[in-house]
Structure 1
Amino acid sequence: MKYVFPLLLIIVLMSSCRTRVESPRSMNPTAAMRQKAIDEIREADQNFSILSEKQGMAKAFTTYASDDVIKLNDGAEPTVGFDSLRAQMSRLPADGPVLTWQVLKADAAQSGELGYTFGQWMLTKKDYSGKRSTQYGVYVTVWKRQRDGQWRFVVDGGNNTPEPK
């Protein structure tokens, strides 16, 4: 009888050691769906920037824009709708400015259907004499999952800032 209590204590301790602790994401399907959307949005935004650098702004913006896109233009009226965006982008010269950016923050709704990215951009261009200049800024892009599961941006805009330190 004097060994029963220590034996029970050992059994309780051993069983508590075997209890698996699950991460909050594995316990909550909504949180897992949201995190998956955040990861996908971040990846879409990064791929958008890579395409802009390699094939130009026109190709990148028309590839990642939704049909009902709104592009906010610094100092000008917004561009509303895909056809208007395509027309705006077609006016860019083929060897025009190079726009790249880096995501600093991404987030998504719990539903996993809508999200945003925020980051810093850099625009490099040459003047008529061939001298390069660089502008810097910040942006926010609102992303929406399309019926086919792809992420497309529905709103995009930004503004100039001093060079990041």
Structure 2
Amino acid sequence: MTAQQLIEVDLAFNAMAQREGTGKAFIAFAADAPVLIRPGSMPLLGRSAFVEAFSQVTGSALSWEPLTAEIAASQDLGYTFGRYRIREGGETKAHGVYVSIWKKQADGSWKFVLDGGGTTPQEVTLP
């Protein structure tokens, strides 16, 4: 697994969100015991809380793009860092950054074990 391949996993995650809705994508790409951290909110801890929260999310106002990634030498853990946008009615309402920690699963797929992010005053680009 290379960093570019992990970026492709994150891109597939976003593509599913755009096709089938953010809720379905977050449930599909989450590991068995995911953690979701958002500013000003209690974290979502564990699969049942995660499924309960994201089963209620419809649409795809959220879109994201990984900017960089790294894979551990063990080849079973990595992260992606990127930027996101929230749109309403075709207009960007907010943007920010995120980091997702990914873990290789027993079946060879990659699922995120931790996801967190926050808003930024302007869109972030890499130097």
The TM-score, its normalising length taken from structure 1, stands at: 0.70
**Could you tell me which residue of structure 2 aligns to residue 21 of structure 1?**
none
Aligned residue identity for 2:77: L
Q: 1:136 aligns with which of 95, 100, 115?
A: 95
8 Å CA contact retained: 2:64, 2:82? yes
Cα distance, 1:163 vs. partner? 2.6
Cα distance, 1:78 vs. partner? 0.4
Moved over 4 A (4+): none
Cα distance, 1:125 vs. partner? 2.4
Aligned length: 124
**Could you tell me which residue of structure 1 aligns to residue 118 of structure 2?**
159
Larger proportion of helix? 1
**Could you tell me which residue of structure 1 aligns to residue 27 of structure 2?**
62
Structure 1 residues 163, 54: closer, same or farther in 2, change over 3 A?
farther
Is 1:148 matched with 2:107?
yes
Cα distance, 1:81 vs. partner? 0.8
Unaligned runs of 5+ in 1: 1-35
Aligned residue identity for 2:99: V
Aligned residue identity for 1:144: K
Q: 1:91 aligns with which of 45, 49, 56?
A: 56
**Could you tell me which residue of structure 1 aligns to residue 79 of structure 2?**
116
Cα distance, 1:39 vs. partner? 2.7
Aligned residue identity for 2:63: T
8 Å CA contact retained: 1:123, 1:136? yes
Alignment of 1:66-85 (within 5 A): 66-85=31-50
SS in 1 for 2:50: helix
8 Å CA contact retained: 1:70, 1:156? yes
Note the aligned Cα RMSD (angstroms): 1.7
Structure 1 residues 39, 79: closer, same or farther in 2, change over 3 A?
same
The structure whose RCO (Cα within 8 Å, separation 6+) is larger is: 2
The TM-score, its normalising length taken from structure 2, stands at: 0.89
Counterpart-to-counterpart distance in 2, 1:125 and 1:81 = 29
8 Å CA contact retained: 1:37, 1:113? no
Aligned residue identity for 1:99: L
Aligned residue identity for 2:106: R
Cα distance, 1:153 vs. partner? 0.1
